[in-house]
Amino acid sequence: RRTVLCSQDDHTERAHKNDKLQISRRQTLSLVSMSTPGIMAAAFPSSSEAIPEVADKVWTAIGGGQADLFYPEEFTGSWQVVSTLVDVQVPMGEEMLTNPKLAQRARADLNRPLVYEQRFVRGSSGRIISDRSYNVVQLTKAATGGADPIDDIEWDSDNPNNMRIYLKSGPKIFTRVTRRFEDEHPEDFRLETSEVIEQVFDSEDPMGPPKVKGSRCLTKYKWRSEAQAKDGPVIVATQVVSDFVTAFEGAERVMEAQGRPSLVYTYKMSFRRPPQ
């Protein structure tokens, strides 16, 4: 790794960029879940090693749920998404947060809409899935004001639980979906999805430990036809992202939490077709 000596102005600029990166990490997690993979794998199988039907059966057999989140045909294609953070809760108090600044940064984003693009595509199974790598890039660009901090993403739609994100600044983010659930009510045009995700943020200090997060992303969708929507949103959603205490924060803290979330974000989202 490189060692860089900075002036005071450099430190100020870096702090500002880090704040933006924290926003991007939080919001990227929600997109990683609704459109993506998992988080924490030191090694990912190559596409030649991924056997979709076998992987699906094994994943289901061990209780992980279905192999990916599947969406209605109406979701196919590109969308302009407006996402607004409407609530931030700290259920156990800020003393249970490893980094209380996360809650402070999130509250600064309350009721500030973020606009980005999202895409749903047909997977090899023939069903509609989220294009997670594309979606993470688009969301991160929007969350960082167009800074585009991602250098590369490794993700295989036939092995969607794992994703590796390389940042231009050096650190890497590993994600792994460990469990998912989906409940669709097409007769009511409703869909509910849930994914449990582990995230590992590679430490910028070569001697420092990685940062590990455990989160759950619950999203409730409601949609209508584009003809019915006219100039309004075709899809609306409420998304709740809950962060949990992990074993990396110490056994005592895990026992104190008793499975309760330490930080909860609630978003309201709307989807329209991108302007031509």
pLDDT, tens only, 211-242: 788 889 999 999 999 999 999 999 999 999 99
Which whole-number Å values give the CA distances from 230 to 149, 225, 234, 258, in the listed order? 36, 9, 8, 47
pLDDT at 27: 52
Q: Which residues pair with 271 in a beta bridge?
A: 81, 235
**Model pTM?**
0.77
CA count, 13 A, side-chain hemisphere, 211? 12
Top-confidence residue, 80 or 26 = 80
Residue 99 is predicted with a pLDDT of 79
pLDDT of residue 206: 67
CA distance 211 to 259: 19
Mean of the per-residue pLDDT values for the chain? Answer: 77
Higher pLDDT, 65 or 212: 212
Token pair listed for 219: 């999203």
Residue 95 has pLDDT above 70, yes or no: yes
Determine the pLDDT at residue 205.
67
Of all residues in the chain, the percent with pLDDT exceeding 90 is 38
CA-closest candidate to residue 86, choices 263, 240, 244, 191: 240
Closest to 44 in 3D by CA, of 171, 169, 157, 213 = 157
The Cα-based distances of 3 to 159, 170, 198, 232 in angstroms read 36, 12, 29, 51
Phi-psi group of 93: left, alpha or beta (phi > 0 → left; psi -120 to 50 → alpha; rest → beta): left
3-state secondary structure of 163: strand
- For residue 273, the 8-state DSSP code is P
Residue 224 tokens read as 């209508």
Residue from 179, 215, 170 nearest 30 by CA: 215
Residue 9: which pLDDT band, with cuts at 50, 70 and 90? very low
**The pLDDT of residue 106 is above 90:** no
Residues across the chain: 276
Structure confidence at residue 70 as a pLDDT band (50, 70, 90): very high
- Please indicate whether residue 245 or residue 33 has the higher confidence score (pLDDT): 245
Looking at residue 158, its pLDDT comes to: 87
Indicate the range of 21-30, 60-69, 246-255 predicted with least confidence.
21-30
What is the Cα–Cα distance from 236 to 109, expressed in whole angstroms? 20
pLDDT value of residue 62: 39
If we measure between CA atoms, which residue out of 112, 134, 59, 154 comes closest to residue 267? Answer: 112
Residue 79 CB partners (closer than 8 Å, separation 6+): 117, 118, 119, 120, 234, 235, 271, 272, 273, 274
The three-point CA angle 31-37-154 to 5° equals: 105
Structure confidence by residue, pLDDT tens digits, 17-30:
444 444 445 555 54
